[in-house]
Structure formats: C-alpha cells, structure tokens
Structure 1
Amino acid sequence: MAETAYAYMEPGLYARGWHIVLFSQELSAGDVKALSYFDRELVIFRGESGSVAVLDAYCPHLGAHLASDGGRPHGDTIACPFHGWRFDSQGTCVDIPYAKKIPEKAVHALKSWPVIEKNGFIAIWYDPMGNPPEDYLPDIAPWGPDGWGDWRFQRSRIRAQPCDVIENIVDVAHFAHVHGGEVKSFENRFGERTVTQLSTVQRSATAGMVMPEGAPFDMNALHEEAVENAADAWGDATYHGPSIMYYYTESRSADLNFASWWVNYHTPVNAEEVDLCSAVIVSSLTDEPLPDEFREMYPLTAHLAFGQDVVIWRDKTYRESPILCDGDGPINKLRRWYDQFYRPLSG
C-alpha cells in the first residue's frame, strides 16, 4: 500500500479529541442508550445523581450488550441484563449478585470513556494512546433555561469522511455555489487546537444554491426575499479540536435584529460513516422579542443551510492531491493542522 501524505488517510484511525455523541436533553436520569462510534459499540447512561457515563457495550462476563432490553440502571451504576453483573461509571465491577467474590480479572475489565457534559451536549474523549483529555471546549454562556433556551438540532448519518467535513471552514469558494451567497470578507485564523473562519456573506441573486430534499418551505422564495431585504450580517465559526464547531452570527435588517449560536459536529461511526448534526439557539439583539414564527423557522433554515453541505459531502470523494487555484482558501494548511489529531503527541 502506498504511503499517504496525511495520517488521517490511514485506515482505522480516528481523530484524538472530544466528540459529541448526544445532547443533554436526550438523556434523562435512569436512561440507557446504545451508541456506535469509532467502529465500537458503546453504552451511555445517566445515573440517579445526574452524572453521565460511557462504557464499552459488551459485558466482560459472557458478552451481553449492556443496553439490551433497555438496560438495567441502578443508582449511578448499570447492571448487565443477562446475569446482573453491575458496573460503575469507571467500568469497575462492583457487584455480582450470585457470587461470593468478584474475580480479580473482572474488576477493571470494562473500558470507560472520559465524558464531558457542558453547553447542553455530551462529548466523549477518544485517544487510542490513552492520553488524558484536553480542556479546549469553551463555554457558551447564552445556552440554557436562564438564557436563550435549549438546542434545536437535526442529526443524520451519512457515508462521508471527517476530513471532507472539516475542510468547509477554509473553503471560501463554495458559498457562491452551495449557499447562494456572495463573500464580502473572509479570513482564517489558526491556533494550536482551533481554526477560525471570520466571514461576511451576503445573499446574491446570481449565486447558485444546493437544494436539500424535504425542505419544509420554498428555499428559492426565501432566498429571493433575503436578497430583496439585505441584512448586515457576519459570522465567526471556530473548530475546537477535530470535530466540534461553534458558530456565532449576528444579523441586522429593517425587520429583524438577532444573534444565533450554532454547534455543528461530525462524529465518526466507522471507516465509512459519520454522524452529522447542526444545533441552534437564537435570540433578539434588541429589547423587542423575536416573532414566534421566526423563532420556529430560523432553526429550520439553519439546518437546511447545513444540509446544503451534507448533499455535497455524501456524494463526493476525497482528493488527497487536489488541483487547487489561488481563490480556494488555505486547504493544505488546514489539512496539516487537522493531521495533528491523528499523529502521536510529541514529548
């Protein structure tokens, strides 16, 4: 097999870092769910105290899936539905109901995954080398019941590569063909674990636009209306690590003045599939509340904007050595930045 230029092209490798698996609203106390990520079967549960745990899914005893039959939560532990072996959030076997002594090999036989719950989402830390989690996910202060409310999200599972998805952060040229926009300003900034896109994009009557299937309204009509009623809008999108993007945007027009936070993520399922998700909260920039109709419609339009990219991602192939031109944005620089999450940490 020929060597690849980037480690992320090697089969069987996944990016080291935090990856979102659920939103907090999807997991109540006592809930147990099966997950499939990184070509592994996992189980996630929320204990009686509210804490969240993620473990490898198969019991080390005789291999039962811990989420079978809805799972068996007990306080802050989970019991195997086959024989009742009980495990805590660290994967430690704490009880076997019919045994006088827990076998020594069983004590730490089940892998647990580092978990973080913040900003209304639940993420797990993936690192095949076992390095400790890094603290690079910022707070989103407006999120929550005392702020702008909870996320409105849409998730899909498609055949795509994570490297296809993350390149959007530097792809200045696609706005005029996918999103119906004319780029007024565009800048990328690279940090150690972050890459940011600062952009001003205006709706254009001459720009092309991808049409996702199943749109609940006429996207062409909406686009025409946005062109006629041009808004002063800008956005700041930042990838924090390899798979979680925060996007903050403000828009001001004669009719509406609002701000919005988005969380977009792509979490690898296996070597061929990723889970894609776009989540949105929105609020007025003035003392006047946003119209109810707009508050309902805006998340749908945001999901469709993300869906325009999804249409492309699910059908494309990855070019390891693309033919690039001077207007393409720093794609190769992004690839070198992204590659760090697939290579061993130095030092």
Structure 2
Amino acid sequence: MNRFKYAYLDPDNYARGWHIVLFSQELGVGEVKKLHYFDRDLVAYRGESGKVAILDAHCPHLGANLGSGEGRVTGDNIACPFHGWTFDPQGHCVDIPYADKLPEKAVTALRGWAVLEKCGFIAIWFGEPDEAPENYLPDIKEWGENGWGDWVFYRSRIQAKPCDIIENIVDIAHFPHVHGGVVRSWENRFTERSVTQLSTVDRNPDAKMIIPPGAAVDLAEASEETGADVDAWGDATYHGPSIMYYYTEARSPDINFKSWWVNCHTAVNDNEVDLCSAVIVSSLDGTPLPADFARDYPHMAHIAFGQDVEIWKDKVYRDEPILCDGDGPINKLRKWYEQFYLPR
C-alpha cells in the first residue's frame, strides 16, 4: 500500500528556520554555554563586544569541547581549552599559539551558525551551510519598554516530535478539556511563513482541565475566583516552524492587563524537544499592577502552557488521523508545516 509520508517524520530531518536556544539574560559577556540541538553538540558564547556566536562544539584538532572548563572567550573569539586553538564567530581558526602556520584544513573545519538576537532571546538558523537565513521574525515592539520587565521563562524537555507541538495553533477542540475554556470566537489565518490563531476564550469554572503536577499556583482555584467577568482575547502566531508569539489583553472589574508570551520548541534529536514558555506583563490602562499579580501571572501562564505539555509528553503522532467537522484545519496546518522540511 502506498502511503503519503510527510518529510517532517523522516529521521534526522529538522525544520529549516529560526529556533530559540537561549534568552539574552542567560549569556553574559565572556560567558560560554554548551548546547545540544538537532542531534549536534554546539557552543554559544558572548564576545567582549556583546556579539553572540554559536559554533559546532568540538575542536577539529583533537575533539575537545570548546565549552569545557567554562570556555575561554578572547575578544570576540573563543579558544579551545585543550590546546588554545582559537576560532572566530564564523568558525574560522584564526590562531594556533604554538604553530607558525595554520593548517589549511583547520581554517574552515568548524561551522559557525547564523545567530539572531532580538527582543531578549537568542535564535539559531538551522539550514544548509551556504543558504542565507530568512527575515521573518518580527519585533515585539513593547520589548524593553518601561513597565514590562524581562522575560520570566520556564523550560522542560519531553519525549515528543515538533509536529506534535505546532498543531495546537489550529486545535480549537482541546480548549474545553485541557484548559477549561469555552471558545467564543476562533479564526486561523495562514501566510507563507506564519499561521495565526485569533481567539476569544471564556473561562468556565465548571469545566474539566489538566492540572500539571507540582504547579505553584492552583489554576482551578484561580479560574473560579476570576469567574465570568473577564473579557479577554488573544492573538497567537507561529513565525516559522518553532517560535510562537502570543499577545493577550484582559479586562475585569479588578484588573486590566496586557501580556506577551513567547512559546517555542527546539528539537534536541529525533525523539526529544526542549519546550520553553516566556512571559512579560504590563498594565493595560496605566494603573500599576498589584505586586502579587505581577509576580504570579507569569507562573499562571507557564502552568497554562504546562497543561498542553502534559498531553504532548505521552501522546503518539497520528499521520492519518480520523478527523471530524468540529476539528480545526489540522491537515492544512500539516501541509503548511511541511515546507520547512523540504529543500528550499
């Protein structure tokens, strides 16, 4: 029997595009971080000029990890802690302290990856070495403005595939069962490199919801206290295959606020993904937010994201699902998502 198979299900095939690997606050000047994504060991560092670079982690000399021993940043370059071979942000070997001449193969033996730092996060472009990255990630205009603060983020690593995660953007039917919400309005919009969910979801204190274990805030109790007096809407957009921006506003008799979330997933290997939910929040009407709300809201947002994680971490992927007329445009999403796994 011939069956169509999406390219994103092929082993060792990762999505072409931007993928968040760190937040800016995690990498100070002179700091080095070991990373492992796309089944590769990588090393990220911030040079003395403030520029971030990401390279293949293992020195082409004798294989030491450039991040071992906390790494050694010199200017905007990084030196191997084993023998001092030094590489620039493009991965070119620029110095061997005990050699009069650089071996020709050493000059281009290490890959330097395209890096984008904006809006408080650091992203790597995954693609062919000779292809130019695309400019599809928009700015978050409120980022860095007074009253917003820095990202409060939470990470987890689970057994799953990226395709399990991205389908949430069109899955209208899970809200009453996972999040305890009633969908009042819903629309999905597709462009070449983005897919958007415009939704208004009312809280239903009587509905079932997933409660992630160890949650710092009682989400069910918070939902009951909020009741039906909240008027909230949200605009969630995947820009490319793995980075979602979510903007939301909420008005109630007690508090009016607006918030940006960045939810992202980055493939570790064929079977694992790193998930991250990052949140900033501010007043909607200029009235200062209560200190306890400003403190607790990001954690409530992470718990809401964690409701989906509880499903993702032990589901299986159905490449031929049985769908009904109440489901969102799942097959359309899959065809859109396929583009990131095919030759450009």
> What is the Cα deviation at residue 231 of structure 1?
0.5
Alpha-carbon distance in structure 2 between the residues aligned to 1:145 and 1:286 = 15
> What is the Cα deviation at residue 145 of structure 1?
5.5
**1:326 correspondence with 2:325:** yes
Match of 1:279 in 2: 278
> What is the Cα deviation at residue 265 of structure 1?
0.1
Contact 1:54–1:112 (CA under 8 A) maintained in structure 2: yes
AA in 2 matched with 1:98: Y
Alpha-carbon distance in structure 2 between the residues aligned to 1:128 and 1:292 = 47
Deviations 1:111-155 (A, max 9, x none): 000000000000000013642100000000111164511100001
Match of 2:56 in 1: 56
Give unpaired runs (5+ residues) of structure 1: none
AA in 1 matched with 2:118: K
Q: Secondary structure at the match of 1:54?
A: strand
Deviations 1:50-81 (A, max 9, x none): 00000000000011100011111111100001
Deviations 1:248-278 (A, max 9, x none): 0000010011100000000000000000000
Alpha-carbon distance in structure 2 between the residues aligned to 1:215 and 1:294 = 16
Contact 1:185–1:199 (CA under 8 A) maintained in structure 2: yes
Structure-to-structure mapping, 1:20-169, within 5 angstroms: 20-128=20-128, 130-144=130-144, 146=146, 148-169=148-169
Contact 2:205–2:220 (CA under 8 A) maintained in structure 1: no
> What is the Cα deviation at residue 221 of structure 1?
1.2
Q: Secondary structure at the match of 1:101?
A: coil
Match of 1:265 in 2: 264
Contact 1:264–1:278 (CA under 8 A) maintained in structure 2: yes
Alpha-carbon distance in structure 2 between the residues aligned to 1:210 and 1:242 = 26
> What is the Cα deviation at residue 223 of structure 1?
1.6
TM-score scaled by length of structure 2: 0.98
> What is the Cα deviation at residue 4 of structure 1?
4.4
Alpha-carbon distance in structure 1 between the residues aligned to 2:128 and 2:43 = 18
Q: In angstroms, what is the RMSD of aligned CA positions?
A: 1.2
Match of 2:180 in 1: 180
Alpha-carbon distance in structure 1 between the residues aligned to 2:169 and 2:28 = 34
> What is the Cα deviation at residue 207 of structure 1?
2.0
> What is the Cα deviation at residue 87 of structure 1?
0.3
AA in 2 matched with 1:125: W
AA in 1 matched with 2:263: N
Deviations 1:230-250 (A, max 9, x none): 211000000000000000000
AA in 1 matched with 2:162: P
TM-score scaled by length of structure 1: 0.97
Q: Secondary structure at the match of 1:337?
A: helix
Q: Secondary structure at the match of 1:246?
A: strand
> What is the Cα deviation at residue 206 of structure 1?
3.3
Match of 2:201 in 1: 201
**1:212 correspondence with 2:206:** no
Q: Secondary structure at the match of 2:294?
A: helix
> What is the Cα deviation at residue 2 of structure 1?
7.1
Q: Secondary structure at the match of 1:261?
A: strand
Match of 1:341 in 2: 340
AA in 1 matched with 2:36: S
Contact 2:194–2:240 (CA under 8 A) maintained in structure 1: yes
Alpha-carbon distance in structure 1 between the residues aligned to 2:118 and 2:229 = 35
Contact 1:198–1:236 (CA under 8 A) maintained in structure 2: yes
Deviation >3 Å, runs of 4+: 1-4
Deviations 1:17-37 (A, max 9, x none): 000000000000000010000
AA in 2 matched with 1:177: H
Alpha-carbon distance in structure 2 between the residues aligned to 1:45 and 1:79 = 11
Contact 1:203–1:230 (CA under 8 A) maintained in structure 2: no
Alpha-carbon distance in structure 2 between the residues aligned to 1:127 and 1:2 = 30
Q: Secondary structure at the match of 1:223?
A: helix
Contact 1:153–1:277 (CA under 8 A) maintained in structure 2: yes
**1:231 correspondence with 2:230:** yes
Alpha-carbon distance in structure 1 between the residues aligned to 2:131 and 2:4 = 25
Alpha-carbon distance in structure 1 between the residues aligned to 2:189 and 2:129 = 29
> What is the Cα deviation at residue 3 of structure 1?
5.6
Alpha-carbon distance in structure 2 between the residues aligned to 1:58 and 1:145 = 39
Contact 1:202–1:230 (CA under 8 A) maintained in structure 2: no
Contact 2:217–2:299 (CA under 8 A) maintained in structure 1: no
Give unpaired runs (5+ residues) of structure 2: none
Contact 2:250–2:257 (CA under 8 A) maintained in structure 1: yes
Contact 2:21–2:122 (CA under 8 A) maintained in structure 1: yes
Contact 1:92–1:109 (CA under 8 A) maintained in structure 2: yes
Alpha-carbon distance in structure 2 between the residues aligned to 1:59 and 1:327 = 53
Alpha-carbon distance in structure 2 between the residues aligned to 1:154 and 1:84 = 35
Moved more, 211-220 or 289-298: 211-220
Moved more, 143-152 or 312-321: 143-152
Contact 2:217–2:300 (CA under 8 A) maintained in structure 1: no
Match of 1:14 in 2: 14
